[in-house]
Chains A and B, each alone.
Chain A
Amino acid sequence: MQAPAGTSLMTRLGITGRLVLALTVASAVIFAVVFWVNYRYTAEMVERQVQAHARDVVQAAVQSIDDAVRGVVRDQKNLVAVLERVPRLTPEVVRNLAHGHVTANDEVFGSTIAFEAARSPLGGKPFAPYYFKRLNNSIAYASLATPAYNYPGKEWYRQPKELKAPVWSEPYFDEGGGNVVMTTYSVPFYRQVKGGPRLFTGIATADVSIDWLGRQITGLRLYNNGYAALFSRKGVYLAHPDRALVLKETIFTVAEQLGNQMLHEVGRAIGRGESGFVKGRNIYGTESWIYYAPVPSTGWSLAVVFPAEAMLADAYNASRAIALYCVGGFLLLLITIILTARTVTRPLVTMTDVVKQVAEGQLELPLPVQAGGEVGQLAQAFVQMQHDLKSYIARLTETTAAKERMASELAIAHDLQMAMLPPHLPRLPALQLSALCRPAREVGGDFYDVRLLDDHRLFFIIGDVSGKGVPAALYMAITVSLARAVMQGGVSPAEALIRINNELSRGNDACMFVTILCGVLDLASGQLRYANAGHNPPVLCKVGQKPVFMELQPGLAAGCLDGYQYGEGLLDLAVGDLLLLYTDGVTEALNPDGAFFGEEQLLAAVAEAGPASGLADILFDRVAAFAAGAAQADDITILTVRRTPP
């Protein structure tokens, strides 16, 4: 069977299809939402964890750097205190102090105490003894007061002198000394000269190797491929897993090479000593989280970098696992739905087959009623329908039989009724007669009769019983029989009507009545005596004139009132004159538009037909043509009498 156009996909699919489609869509949406929400939540959680972890790591590292550096700062402070307070600074004392500073501190790789030439223990000559550790940890000495080195011009000397504050130098690679990365902590010291003001006297320095720092930084244990980097205030790489960058590149140069704005921003923030957490591409082009914070004592900054992908790997893995569970659950659901739908539809399919066979007439076929639930109810309904169908068919058979019986009875009744009408009209030399009677149903209430009373008198009668069908037919039969009996007695038309009426009126509980027009025509003279019991006025067509309706005294329809007195009329029919009697089935014939044939058309039809014989049939054909197939509403009877030349 082809689905009709315009039905939706849902209605075209079976129950299974619909369930599968609906639940597939619904569960797919649910799974998608669960998956998405879970992923988002996990990702946010990871980000928070990374941030917390980064902060912890950085703070711990910063603390440890600070701790390490603080020792150097404290010793340096002590050294400076000695330098400022010792009463006499001799070259020996100075050398001892510098030497002692180097030997006493593991972190201090080298130290010099450089004097302003004016206030040097050597008396106006530059003095800068420098002690430093060799690779074998022995202490070496070198004088920096050489014209080639010219220490007063060096930054480590000039900066603290001008700033009047300790300065950590930008780290540098010490090629001459230990081939290590160094930074120099330079502290200015001042001495009172002979009761005068405290004057800048020189700079005490401590060279601190920050190789350990690099090792410590690069050795930070960060999870998931994270790494740390240390920057100087100017953004120079002090420590980084990629040693090629250390002291050779700054965050700015790298940012520029990579066109990485984010790194640039970080560099600037570092320069201002700020801390922060940003997200962006690291120097390897990997999307990362970066946390940075300053090391307060030195002005450096530590940054930790966590590649996002690695960090989110767990979230990804969790999501993938969830996705797998979702798909698995979904498949399980799908199978369950299909199996359930099958069990639901299987009885339906079975039932459909059985019902089809029932519809084809196998009414005794048992229906599968053992199923429970809605399908069981449906089966019950079908059983009921099957039962009803059986009884309907039985009843229909009965009714049909009854109908057929009635039809055959009515057919017989029709024949009987038609037999009550004259089988043929009298053949008379000076009279042209025509007549017909067509009941609207099998039997009707119209009738006519024409018979010779004797050689020169013709009796005719036309009647129309109220209503139609069987009651009218029975009443018609009574009337016809009465009329015949009465006329046997050879009474006048008025007397005939009086007798018929009295007979009919008696015990007429049904209040049936009949309109009758009857007359007796003298064949020789053409004189017509007639009486009317409420019948339609006949059409009179005098020779050479137009047909007209006769003016009649009405008279009451017969059967209404016992004892009613009917009057009589007289009419002279000339040779060639036509008298046409009819029942209202003619004038009240309806066409499909509901219009009556009407009296005017009747007159016109009579005029048109002229003196033709068989006028009754001609007029009936006209009426039938007018009705144009519309059902005949009332019985039609026509009786025509025309005097012809003998």
Chain B
Amino acid sequence: MQISAIQKDAAVVVSLVGRMDAMTTVEFDRWFAEQLAGGATRFVLNMQGLDYISSAGLRSLLAAAKQLKAKNGTLALCCLSGTVEEVFRMSGFLTILSSYPTVDEACASLT
């Protein structure tokens, strides 16, 4: 999985590309911990390039969201599609994580 982030307005926009499974989720966790330590609290996860997400990946996102909540931060998803969107929908995660069709809308939601 490739993780590439840019700062957009007040949010860190992260593009996740590839597969987010038990192995690659570790990378995300490490990256996210660094960001958190760096003081970032608003995140937009661009899921456009994500081909697959496992339950371990969902767990990692859930953990991220909970940590942010504790710091009054937020996390928004955007550009979900295909099987990944299906997984989010089926697991009910869309009911606790906000999701937007575009990056801009996601960013706008954070302000």
Contacts and interface: CB of A to CB of B under 8 A. Distances in A.
Contacts of B56: 466-468
A100 B92 CA distance: 161
Contacts of A513: 55, 58-59, 62, 91
A399 B20 CA distance: 31
Contacts of B95: 554, 556, 564
A467 B92 CA distance: 17
Interface in B22-57: 22, 54-56
Residue of B22, B55, B58, B94 ringed by the most chain A CB atoms within 10 A: B55
Nearest to B60: A511
Given A511-B63, A557-B91, A634 B58 contact: no
A535 B59 contact: no
Nearest to B92: A556
A584 B96 CA distance: 21
B8 interface: no
If over half of A's interface residues share one DSSP class (helix, strand or loop), that class is named, otherwise mixed; here it is loop
Contact of B66 (A511, A534, A564): A511
A390 to B, nearest CB: 35
Interface residues on A, range: 20 to 34
Contact of A467 (B22, B91, B93, B96): B22
Contacts of A537: 90
Nearest to A514: B55
B71 interface: no
B92 A468 contact: no
A386 interface: no
Nearest to A512: B59
Contacts of A533: 92
A534 B54 contact: no
A421 to B, nearest CB: 20
A537 B89 CA distance: 11
A560 interface: yes
Given A511-B63, A554-B89, A466 B58 contact: yes
A267 to B, nearest CB: 101
B10 to A, nearest CB: 25
Nearest to B61: A511
Given A511-B62, A513-B59, A634-B54, A561 B96 contact: yes
A534 B91 contact: yes
Nearest to A464: B55
A288 interface: no
A515 B54 CA distance: 12
A466 B22 CA distance: 10
A166 interface: no
A232 interface: no
A501 to B, nearest CB: 10
A560 B93 CA distance: 9
Nearest to A554: B92
Contacts of B92: 533-534, 554-557, 560
A556 B22 contact: no
Interface in A541-588: 554-557, 560-561, 564, 584, 588
B58 A557 contact: yes
Interface string A509-548: 0111101000000000000000001111100000000000
B23 to A, nearest CB: 11
Contacts of B60: 511
A560 B96 contact: yes
Contacts of B94: 554
Contacts of A564: 95
A535 B90 contact: yes
Contacts of A554: 89-92, 94-95
B22 A468 contact: yes
A625 B58 CA distance: 29
Nearest to A508: B66
Contacts of B93: 534, 556-557, 560
Lowest 10 CB-CB distances: which A-B pairs, in order? Answer: A556-B92, A534-B91, A511-B63, A466-B55, A534-B92, A466-B59, A554-B92, A467-B56, A511-B62, A557-B91
Given A467-B55, A536-B90, 15 more contacts: A464-B55, A466-B56, A466-B58, A467-B56, A467-B59, A510-B63, A511-B60, A511-B63, A554-B94, A555-B92, A556-B93, A556-B96, A557-B91, A560-B96, A634-B54
